C-alpha cells in the first residue's frame, strides 16, 4: 500500500498527496505525488484491474519539472529486454530508454532513495 511505502521511505519524503482515487471493488485508478526532501517529485499513476497492475507510470522529476527517470509499461518499446517494462533516463539533454526491473512502486522508491542525499537531521536507522 502507498501509505506503507511512504512510511518506509519517510527519511526522504517531505510530503505526499493523492490527487485522484477511483475504486470499484478491487479495481482502482490512482494518481498521487510525492515531494522528496531534495525538492524533486514523483508523479504516480496506476490502474489495477482484477487485482493486477494493468498500467503504470512513475515520473521522477526535478523541482523545476525536468525529467530524471520515468518508469512505465506502455507497449511502444518492444526491443527493450524487459518489455513492456522500461524506464526513460534523462542525462544532460538526452533521454535513453532502458530495461526496468518492473512495475513495483517499492523498486522505484528504492532506486530514488539511493540517489537522494538524506539531510543529516532526518536520517533514520531503518533506512
In tens, the pLDDT along 6-38 reads 999 999 999 999 999 999 988 999 999 999 999
Name the pLDDT band for 113 (thresholds 50, 70, 90): very high
91 vs 122, residue with greater confidence = 91
Would residue 125 count as lying in a domain? Answer: no
55 beta partners: 47
Would residue 99 count as lying in a domain? Answer: yes
Name the domain count of the chain: 1
Would residue 32 count as lying in a domain? Answer: yes
Evaluate if residue 123 carries a pLDDT over 60.
no
Would residue 29 count as lying in a domain? Answer: yes
Evaluate if residue 124 carries a pLDDT over 90.
no
118 vs 115, residue with greater confidence = 115
Would residue 20 count as lying in a domain? Answer: yes
d(CA 21, CA 61): 22
Q: Could you tell me which of 57, 64, 63 has the C-alpha nearest to residue 43? A: 57
Residue 26 pLDDT:
86
Would residue 124 count as lying in a domain? Answer: no
Residue 120 pLDDT:
56
Would residue 127 count as lying in a domain? Answer: no
Would residue 126 count as lying in a domain? Answer: no
CB 58, CB 44: distance < 8 Å: yes
Mean pLDDT throughout 93-116? 92
Evaluate if residue 122 carries a pLDDT over 70.
no
Segments forming the whole domain that contains residue 64: 2-116
Amino acid at each position: 500500500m502507498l501509505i506503507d511505502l511512504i512510511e518506509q521511505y519517510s527519511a526522504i519524503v517531505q510530503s505526499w498527496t493523492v490527487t485522484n482515487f477511483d475504486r470499484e471493488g478491487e479495481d482502482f485508478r490512482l494518481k498521487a505525488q510525492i515531494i522528496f526532501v531534495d525538492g524533486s517529485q514523483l508523479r504516480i499513476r496506476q490502474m489495477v484491474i482484477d487485482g493486477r497492475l494493468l498500467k503504470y507510470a512513475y515520473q521522477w522529476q526535478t523541482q523545476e519539472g525536468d525529467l530524471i527517470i520515468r518508469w512505465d509499461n506502455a507497449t511502444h518499446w518492444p526491443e527493450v529486454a524487459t518489455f513492456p517494462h522500461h524506464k526513460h533516463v534523462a542525462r544532460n539533454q538526452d533521454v535513453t530508454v532502458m530495461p526496468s526491473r518492473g512495475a513495483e512502486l517499492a523498486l522505484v522508491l528504492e532506486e530514488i532513495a539511493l540517489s537522494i542525499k538524506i539531510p543529516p537531521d532526518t536520517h533514520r536507522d531503518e533506512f
